[in-house]
Amino acid sequence: MQIKPILAAMRHHKAGTVLIALQIALTLAIVCNALFIIQQRTARVSRPSGVEETDLFVIRSDWADKSDPRRIDAQMQADLIALRQLGSVQEASSTNSFPLRGTGWDNFIKLQPDQVKMTTDAAIFFADERTLAALGTRLVAGRNFTAGEIGAQQPRDALHSAQVIISKALAERLFPQGSALGKTIYVSMGRTPSTVIGITDTLQAHMTGSWANPYAYNAVLIPARLLNDYTYYLVRARPGQLAAAMRDAPKALYAQSRMRIINAKDGVMSFAQVRRRAYERDVGMAILMGIISVVLLAITAAGIVGLTSFWVGQRRKQIGVRRALGATRGDILGHFLTENLLIGIGGVLIGAVLAVGINLWMVAQFEMARLSLAYVVAGVVALLLLGQGAVLAPALRASRVSPVEATRSV
Amino acid sequence: MFAYYLQLGLRSLRRSPMLTALMVMAVGFGVAASMITWSVFRAVSGDPIPGKSAQLYTVLIDNRGPQYNDNGEPPEALTYTDATALVAAGKAAHQTLFYNVAPSVLPEGNQSLPFIANGYATNADFFGMFDVPFEYGGGWHASDDAGRAAVAVISHELNQQLFGGADSVGREITMDRHTYRIVGVAAHWDPKPRFFDLFSGNAFGDPVQLYLPFARAVDVQMDTAGRNNCGSNADFGVGRDAWLHGECVWVPMWVELPDPAAAKGYREFLTNYAAEQQRAGRFHWAPNVRLRDVNDWLDHMRVVPPESRISLMVALGFFVICLVNTIGLLLAKFMRRAAEIGVRRALGAPRLEIYHQFLVEAGTVGLAGGVLGLLLTALGMFGVGLLFEPEIARLAHLDLSLVATTLLVAIVATVLAAFYPTWRAARVQPAWQLKSN
């Protein structure tokens, strides 16, 4: 295949060449970044929560009378007994928050009481001896709380944290060398140390914002019932009885006391709903970028088909002449495919630079990760193939131009 | 001539339907993607209180010192101690403070169930400063703040729910077992972003349902339902009283300062206040205070979600590609008619007329693209609701100005894209075209 005649032909329609190259370049730049965003978001969404999610649901109960803490405490214990007695319920526990909730209580964690800056940040989950069973999260070291260790406290009281259970990620962050078990840490910002008595397997925090990415798996379990204006109940249904348990549980709670509010809209949520809500924005963003990428590739392909068709139409006579002088159909087909490949290569070279440039700008603006070059390479290959595919139909039409065309209309 | 060119344009569009469809779709998709993302972006980045945004300032004081503060920035709200002291000093034209509350509300008399309502514990100045409109009655008075009166203002929506929309001024509402006398019913009010409540992350939250006096709420120990930030400082005490008078920040404060001179004066006052705290031994560092107006505060708190910005950028890039595509296709379409142009030119049409004809033709493509874009935008608005969480999605809506912008952008962009192809068309040499046929 000779390149020179193709380059000569391209010089004759510079504008079209430049436009196609530009379109390929811009498409590559945007599609690379869009695909990268999709990958980042889906990676976030598919992170494990460390919770056995099927058959788990949460109930939020607000106290209608905001009565005194002792009554709230008695009510919470009565509620838990009532929930555990339900036939459809396997386990129930009270807490202030849970993985993927979005907002909640997080504390700075320190290794020394007079440390100025925190060592790390962690979610504070008030728990009892049944919380891990309700969540379906295993301990990898140490022991669970015993019923006797579970206290009760109000939000502004000193944290009931002489003994704590911490998540694996937090343990590794605090004590990179050796086990955290039996060590003391400071979780309450005060001067009272907490002894680590257990370490859970992977357990996600409630924080889902991007600021909390470094702390996403840091959690501290405090052995107490939090006597606040509201509480959450983590309820594990017996296998396959989620729907029944979600129906029975609020009824059982109302039967215990009517002086509570369980919001009709989101007072009872399955963990699947919790997860959907936590990642709604990420999933939405991924879908949006997906739609844009597909439409963009389609439009670019259509644009290449349109312009090449026009060129073929314009050059029918020249094609006829070449055919008359002995060029085979394959030669003509090859001409257009090579021409497109050359334009495509020019486009993707500019596009790759643009893609990296846009990504660097986004890294600076939105704290995004650096674009991996694999995406650029994949994008380059995809766009070159797209170009070849798009040019195929007009090129085939060109190859069918009869040598007789050379003699017409002169 | 314009009408004639329009007719020619429409006829030409029909002549090569594939090419036309391609262009119309490119313009339609491009403009729709841009408009959908733009409508969300303009909602999240708009000025929530135009005309007053340069006169309202949030007040911040560094109560943590250089070791504990956030890279030199004071925390994003005040302590109870500072907020109440500064409001009591009354050095600004108006000053307000508030915290978020979520009391249980028991409807008056009837048998219906209690529910949780969200609101603010604030003072009398709040309503005037933030331009809260009233349907019945009005805000309470400064004397009610001082007297710690059990009064309340409820929203239009809560009034509908509790009293069927009747004038409920003078009636009672029960919150957390205490009764309050209603003094006003606010008309629908929901500034977006809710600039004054960024500390608790409520920029796009549900509209507020009720308001009650700050001092009263503190008296009845109504706890904050918003954020409470204690920083990394180790010496805050235990129990509600220690917390209330401690160094945790949870009270946003705003002042109204009519002109830059007043702002300068207030900044001095604030610095003096911090210096006084230093002298008293509470702060062990030089005064570090901020006075941020509405737009400054929205910027500082990065209220526009990055998703909204990125989507807008990507959509605009998408639109540019669609336009590049359109330029190429228009070029093909116009140059295909070189012979026709040659004839017109030979018959005496000046270049300007060629310009007219082809730009009008491009305009019709733009119009068709705009109409398609409008349909896609309407469809997309529905889609945004499926893709994104309701707090953001409900901000996007198709109004008259968006319809007009969509059509205008489509036409203008297409006509701009047509300049180069038209220029090429106008340069066609008549003699050359006539000769070869």
CA nearest neighbour of B295 among B124, B50, B92: B50
A199 to chain B, closest Cα gap in Å: 25
Residue ranges of domains in chain A: 4-46+279-407, 65-258
Instruction: Give CA–CA dist B53/B436, Å, rounded.
Output: 68
Residues 28-47 of B with CB under 8 A from A: 29, 33
Q: Does residue A409 belong to the interface with chain B, where contact is any CB pair within 8 Å?
A: yes
At a CB cut-off of 8 Å and minimum separation 6, what does B323 contact?
B26, B27, B30, B413, B414, B416, B417
Q: CA separation (Å) from A230 to A5, A72, A94, B221?
A: 79, 9, 11, 15
User: Tens place of pLDDT for every residue, chain A, 410 residues?
Assistant: 577 878 887 777 788 889 999 999 999 999 999 999 999 999 999 999 999 999 999 999 999 877 789 999 999 999 999 999 999 999 999 999 999 999 899 998 999 888 878 889 999 999 999 999 999 999 999 999 999 999 999 988 888 889 999 999 999 999 999 899 999 999 987 778 999 999 999 999 999 888 888 999 999 999 999 999 999 999 999 999 999 999 999 999 999 988 899 998 889 999 999 999 999 889 989 998 999 999 999 999 998 888 888 888 888 888 888 888 888 899 889 988 999 999 999 999 999 999 999 999 988 887 778 888 888 999 999 999 999 999 999 999 999 888 887 776 54
Confidence of residue B437 (pLDDT cuts 50, 70, 90): very low
Task: Report d(CA A90, CA A202) in Å as an integer.
Answer: 22
DSSP string, A194-225: EEEEEEESS---SB-SGGGGGGTT-EEEEEEE
Is B54's pLDDT higher than 90?
yes
Apex A155 CA angle, A149 and A160, nearest 5: 25
Task: Report the gap between the CA of A238 and the closest CA in chain B (Å).
Answer: 31
Shortest Cα distance from A50 to chain B (angstroms)? Answer: 24
CA distances from residue B256 to A224, B131, B183 in whole angstroms, order as listed: 45, 12, 24
Amino acid at B92: A
Higher pLDDT, A44 or B12: A44
Select from B236, B324, B419 the residue whose CB has the most chain A CBs within 10 Å, as the one to mutate to test that interface. B324
Size of interface A-B (CB pairs under 8 A): 159
Between B116, B232, B387, which is nearest A288 by CB?
A: B387
pLDDT at B354: 87
State the Cα–Cα distance between residues A346 and B236, nearest whole angstrom. 64
Cβ of residue A118 closer than 8 Å to a chain B Cβ = yes
Condensed to tens digits (0 to 9), the pLDDT of residues B56-84 reads 999 999 998 888 888 889 999 999 999 99
The DSSP line for A100-126 is: T-B---EEEEBSSTT-SS-SEEEEEEE
Where do the structural domains in chain B lie, given as residue ranges? Answer: 2-47+305-435, 63-256
Decide which of B319 and B109 is more confident: B319
Chain B positions touching A190 (Cβ under 8 A) are: 234, 238
Are the CB atoms for B255 and B97 separated by under 8 Å?
no
Task: Give the pLDDT mean for B252-262.
Answer: 95
* Cα of A6 to nearest chain B Cα, Å: 19
> What is the rounded CA–CA span in Å between residue A306 and residue B353?
27
Torsion (CA) A175, A177, A180, A185 in degrees, nearest 10: -30
pLDDT in tens, B386-421: 777 777 777 777 788 889 999 999 999 999 999 999
Residues of chain A numbered 343-372 and touching chain B (CB < 8 Å) = 362, 365-367
Chain B: closest CA distance from residue A109 (Å): 9
Cβ contact, residue pair A26, B320, below 8 Å: yes
Nearest by CB to residue B325, choosing from A189, A288, A300, is: A300
Contact between B12 and B336 under an 8 Å Cβ cutoff? The reply is no
Contact B413, B319 (CB under 8 A): yes
Q: What's the pLDDT at B435? A: 67
pLDDT surpasses 70 at B109: no
- B234, pLDDT greater than 60: no
Is B15 part of the contact surface with chain A (CB cutoff 8 Å)?
Answer: no
Average pLDDT for chain B: 89
Does A15 sit within 8 Å of B424, measured CB to CB? yes
- B193 cis-preceded (ω within 30 degrees of 0): yes
- Chain A residue nearest residue B302, CA to CA: A366
pLDDT tens by residue, B346-393:
888 888 888 888 899 899 899 999 999 999 998 888 887 777 777 777
B20 pLDDT more than 90: no
The predicted pLDDT at position B436 comes to 56
